[in-house]
Amino acid sequence: MSESAHHSQNPHHYFDAEAGPVVRPYAMTRGRTSSTSHHRLDLIALVVPEPAADHPVHDQSLSPEHVEIVERCEDTPQSIAELAAGLDLPVGVVRVLVGDLVEDALVHVTRPVPPAELPDVNILREVINGLRAL
């Protein structure tokens, strides 16, 4: 791999900022790298808060990041990719956190078009019209 070759050629290369954040991202997921749900959440899957999330929730198991995800999605559902960018967390971490919220029935996630299916012709036409109208 070219990268390791690069490092070996520079034995005095020190890691600093590149070594990453002080709190390792996966500490927020308590070390989990995948959620218990069977589907890997697509980058454009939208996170929609459930009505139950309207009520006060005193769930001690929720981290501030969980709470922030629900709050960010309240007015406009956000995609996994947008949440990752907004929270400045790796996509993998957001997937685990959203998986927790799905499990707790605080949010649900929209399922994008299954890859095996051809996209609906009408939707494609609407996309073309929508783009032209921009």
Partner 1 sequence: MVFGRSNSRRPVEPVTLKILVAGGFGVGKTTLVGAVSEIRPLRTEETLSEAGRPVDDTAGVEGKTTTTVAMDFGRITLREDLVLYVFGTPGQDRFWFLWDELAQGALGAVVLADTRRLEDSFAAVDYFERRGIPFTVAVNCFDGAGRFPVETVRTALDLDPGVPLMMCDARERESVKEVLVAVVEHALERVDGSRRAAAAT
98 binds partner 1 (CB under 8 A): no
| DSSP single-letter state for residue 23 | S
User: 10 Å Cβ neighbour count for 87?
Assistant: 18
Q: Cβ of residue 76: shortest distance to partner 1, in angstroms?
A: 6
Can you give the C-alpha Rg of the chain in angstroms?
Answer: 19
Q: How far is CA 122 from the centre of its chain?
A: 29
90 binds partner 1 (CB under 8 A): yes
102 binds partner 1 (CB under 8 A): no
118 binds partner 1 (CB under 8 A): yes
11 binds partner 1 (CB under 8 A): no
Question: 134 to each of 80, 100, 127, 128, 130, how far by Cα in Å?
Answer: 25, 37, 11, 10, 6
Over the window 34 to 73, marking each residue x when it contacts partner 1 by CB under 8 A and - when it does not, the resulting string is: ------x-xxxxx-xx-x-xxxxxxx--x----x--xx-x
Nearest alpha carbon to residue 50 among 24, 80, 70: 70
Question: Rounded distance, CA 90 to CA 8, Å?
Answer: 27
Q: Cβ of residue 41: shortest distance to partner 1, in angstroms?
A: 11
By the criterion CB under 8 A, which residues form the site for partner 1?
1, 3-4, 25, 40, 42-46, 48-49, 51, 53-59, 62, 67, 70-71, 73-77, 79, 81-82, 84-86, 90-92, 106, 110, 112-115, 118-119, 121, 123-128, 130-132, 134
